[in-house]
Amino acid sequence: MRLQAMIAGGLAVLAAGCAGLAPRAGRDESDPARLALRQQLSQSAQAAIDRQDWARAQADLERLLAEWPRSAEAHHRLARVLRAQGRIDQAEAAERRALELDPEYLDALIGLGEIEITLGRFDAALTDLDTAIDLAPDRAAAHLAVGQALEGLGRPDDALAAYYRALELDPTSADALLRVGVLQLARRRPEQALTRLSQVLELDPDCVEASYQRGRAYLALGQPAAAVADLRRAAGRLPRRADVFYHLALA
């Protein structure tokens, strides 16, 4: 779920990135024809991202970088596309290149931290994410990723505080609500977990992990019919998750 959640977080950044934005580094404005080509490639890449054609998006961004190698933004966008394809090592290299060009590039710092979490390098992730928060304390995505890193380090109380901070900044963060719900279940607070997980499903009815976790909450609250409904939905989408079928059997 963590990787999915991060991929899902990466896609949101991609969708927000507009073609033709001013670059963060190294813009050459002396050749209108080259600038027009860069704009065309950026727009083509964004259109491919919007339809989740990752191969085309990658090809366009690589062509863009051949024309514009010092664009930190283009390297960061390429990193997001590579992550969406599960090519984590290459994505890390692209984020690091973006940060070489612009060490205070907030989105690249957060992206690198998310990648380090995926790779299990939680302490390194916290270092990068703390830098991001120093630069922009009000970025919910940074606090969400801090929570994920702290969970990885076995610090659930600190993780919960980070998730609450993310929710203060973005009350509609389904990822933060989900993690709070899971941690509340672990603390044997199923009523609170149920509230959070129901909020997730209101925001994202297709979040299968939230269906599974809410099924667990209903089970803990002695509501087997509701538990079965959620757990069956989760089992249909997660056929290889033994834990889902275990809880369905308990219900």
Q: How does pLDDT run across 180-232, given as a tens digit for each residue?
A: 999 999 999 999 999 999 999 999 999 999 999 999 999 999 999 999 999 99
| Model pLDDT, residue 33 | 86
Which domains, from first to last, does the chain contain?
A: 1-15+32-103 (1.25.40.10), 104-170 (1.25.40.10), 172-251 (1.25.40.10)
Measure the CA–CA gap between 3 and 9, rounded to whole angstroms: 10
Nearest to 116 by CA among 130, 98, 129, 100: 129
Measure the CA–CA gap between 130 and 211, rounded to whole angstroms: 32
| Model pLDDT, residue 106 | 98
| Model pLDDT, residue 8 | 46
Measure the CA–CA gap between 63 and 49, rounded to whole angstroms: 15
- 40 Rama class: left (phi>0) / alpha (psi -120 to 50) / beta: alpha
| Model pLDDT, residue 74 | 97
Helix (H, G, I), strand (E, B) or coil at 238: coil
| Number of Cβ atoms within 10 Å of the Cβ of 66 | 9
Q: Is the pLDDT of residue 5 over 90?
A: no
| Model pLDDT, residue 29 | 56
pLDDT band at 94 (very low <50, low <70, confident <90, very high): very high
The single-letter code of the amino acid at 228 is V
What letter does residue 18 receive in the DSSP assignment? P
pLDDT band at 144 (very low <50, low <70, confident <90, very high): very high
CA dihedral 230, 235, 240, 244 (to 10 degrees): 40
| Model pLDDT, residue 3 | 40
| Model pLDDT, residue 30 | 67
What's the average model confidence in pLDDT over 83-107?
98
Nearest to 45 by CA among 7, 8, 84: 84
Measure the CA–CA gap between 53 and 61, rounded to whole angstroms: 12
- Locus of tokens 């599974």: 212
What's the average model confidence in pLDDT over 45-52?
94
pLDDT band at 108 (very low <50, low <70, confident <90, very high): very high
What's the average model confidence in pLDDT over 73-97?
98
Residue 104: alpha-carbon gap to chain centroid? 20
For residue 37, CA distances in Å to 30, 53, 56 come to 13, 20, 16
Measure the CA–CA gap between 62 and 233, rounded to whole angstroms: 40
What letter does residue 24 receive in the DSSP assignment? S
For residues 238 and 208, the answer to whether their CB atoms sit within 8 Å is yes
Q: What is the mean pLDDT of the chain?
A: 91
Helix (H, G, I), strand (E, B) or coil at 92: helix
Over the range 206-215, which residues count as b (16 or more CB within 10 Å of their CB) and which as e?
A: ebbbbbbbbb
Q: Is the pLDDT of residue 22 over 60?
A: no
What's the average model confidence in pLDDT over 131-149?
98
